[in-house]
Chain A
């Protein structure tokens, strides 16, 4: 029986090889070859693309991307943790309503959601119209770094709230009563029991927000304009505008390595070995 069931996995295995492993190998191949060797017969291996990335110009873009993503993640955490906490404490009917509202925007395409923010923040957008209605000066909101950060926080906040909420809501109320019984006031209870026990949720929230944030290109392009070039924009530009697939692939590989390393670091902090609240 056991030997036969493994055949059921084969379609998925084939799927994964065709759509995940093969493209990854192609990216690796592009990253270590030169542009001129794109012919079928001749392949020239080189690490030139990787070397090129260590130019200060590109390094600055990398650091800036990491900085913006980290800042958005931090803002998401500071907004998301209290939100998740309040939701988990709310009574059951309110709780499902709020959760539904959290998930609702995700039913829409991210591109559309981001376009919506353009009409809110734009020079003739809703906010500026309201300001001018009251006779206040118009603000330059769109195409700023602030707009990029706001867009990322808005788009990725649910990914922070949901895992933290899961960790908080599966917490045994008996444990909190025990802490109360042993003399812990609400503050100590939060510091010593609730916060440590919700750490797995916090960690998966950080990963789930940081990963898409560091590699996003739609949000900085639409909301940040030319002011903030993030690593995702750079890769997109190299592939679409410049046609430099080799350099683009090299940067993609570097990004993957960075994400893998940050995931490994986060794993170290994960106390809950059973990984109940982890989403990956």
Chain B
């Protein structure tokens, strides 16, 4: 427990009677890169704002380094935030923006100078100190926003979709830069995003949220390979989700066929969700596979082709480097570890 820097205990938050966060419990370890992942409106930003102190929870307790901080205002918390829209001060130049936090701490002017210069260099913005904020590109503004937070050497950095406004290439670059920086500086990052790829790339731990509830928490590999429920499977990467019936341990039936699988511990005849990743389905010539279907569409995606193949009325999404022709019948094969069985969610 001593290694946890931030702990949320049974946090509940309501806006106008609507529950936004429902009994969230979460601990973040020192030097960990934690990503809160979920669709918009899932409560991830609210969770971050509660940690930052901009919202107070209706119920539950927040601990920072073992101390209860429910009532501590943001300006007294030892953490800093990178805001979604950067929120740079438009009337100050780059240098003054970054120096803002240090000035408030009444730091020695010379020390401020060297700290700001050092961080500008770290962000490849060495000669930008005198620039006005509106003279910067989105990518530069974003770096300044991160620099302004990091220069204070917080124990925890909160990032609210900081790369949302950047183009794909710049976003990928920044993802790697941020990850490298986090390792180098040894600061705990709590990162909010709705981009599953971003989450998989950068995180030590991913927290998947939906409708104010934590759906699954774990390392990226586990989340991707062993999603706990159909929502996580669908949200993390693309998935084919089918209705199935467990006949016994290691045997599942879907689309009228029986398949071997690696899952067990379900009731006999229990209805389950069957999740199959589109890249796990293998294309075979017709006539040799359990699953056969007609190719409905083929889209070239760069690295692979994305195909819709209709099998017994179910439209499979298939990603493969092989291409099938639209209108032809093809076979699809699966190995037992490609089949993921999940308990049916109780539909609310």
Contact = CB atoms under 8 A, between A and B. Distances in A.
Contacts of A271: 91
B185 interface: no
Contacts of A197: 90-91
B89 A181 contact: no
A268 to B, nearest CB: 16
B52 A182 contact: no
Interface in B266-296: none
A164 to B, nearest CB: 16
A66 to B, nearest CB: 30
A172 B87 contact: yes
A183 B75 contact: yes
Contacts, number: 60
A184 B87 contact: no
Contact of B87 (A178, A185, A188, A192): A178
A272 B100 CA distance: 20
A271 B88 CA distance: 16
B91 A182 contact: no
B329 interface: no
Given A177-B54, A197-B91, A271-B91, A182 B152 contact: yes
| Residue of B80, B87, B105 contacting most chain A CB atoms (<10 Å) | B87
A193 interface: yes
Contact of B81 (A172, A175, A178, A196): A178
Contacts of A177: 54, 74, 81, 83, 87
Contacts of A196: 91
Interface string B94-132: 000000110011000000000000000000000000000
B101 A183 contact: yes
A180 interface: yes
Interface in B119-153: 148-149, 152
A183 B152 contact: yes
Interface in A148-203: 172, 174-175, 177-185, 188, 192-193, 196-197
Contacts of B52: 181
A179 B90 CA distance: 12
B73 interface: yes
A177 to B, nearest CB: 6
B161 to A, nearest CB: 13
Contacts of B74: 177, 180-181
Contacts of B83: 174, 177-178
Given A177-B54, A177-B74, A182 B87 contact: no
Contact of B80 (A181, A184, A185, A188): A181
Nearest to A171: B90
Interface residues of B, number: 24
B172 interface: no
B248 interface: no
A180 B85 contact: no
Nearest to A174: B87
A73 B104 CA distance: 33
A115 B91 CA distance: 44
Interface in B37-54: 52-54
A184 B105 CA distance: 9
A188 B89 CA distance: 14
A178 B89 contact: yes
Contacts of B87: 172, 174-175, 177-178
A180 B90 contact: no
A188 B104 contact: yes
A226 to B, nearest CB: 48
Contacts of B53: 180
Given A172-B85, A174-B83, A174-B85, A180 B73 contact: yes
Contacts of A179: 89, 100
Contacts of A184: 75, 100, 104
B101 A182 contact: yes
Contacts of B152: 182-183
A44 B76 CA distance: 76
A196 B90 CA distance: 10
Contacts of B101: 182-183
Given A175-B87, A179-B100, A184-B104, 11 more contacts: A174-B84, A175-B89, A177-B54, A178-B81, A178-B148, A180-B73, A181-B52, A183-B104, A183-B152, A184-B75, A188-B104
28 contacts: A172-B85, A174-B84, A174-B87, A175-B87, A175-B88, A175-B89, A177-B54, A177-B74, A179-B89, A179-B100, A180-B53, A180-B74, A180-B75, A181-B52, A181-B75, A181-B81, A182-B75, A182-B100, A182-B104, A182-B148, A183-B75, A183-B104, A183-B105, A184-B75, A184-B100, A185-B75, A197-B91, A271-B91
Query: Which 9 A/B pairs are nearest by Cβ-Cβ distance?
Result: A174-B87, A182-B101, A178-B87, A180-B74, A183-B104, A181-B81, A196-B91, A183-B75, A175-B87
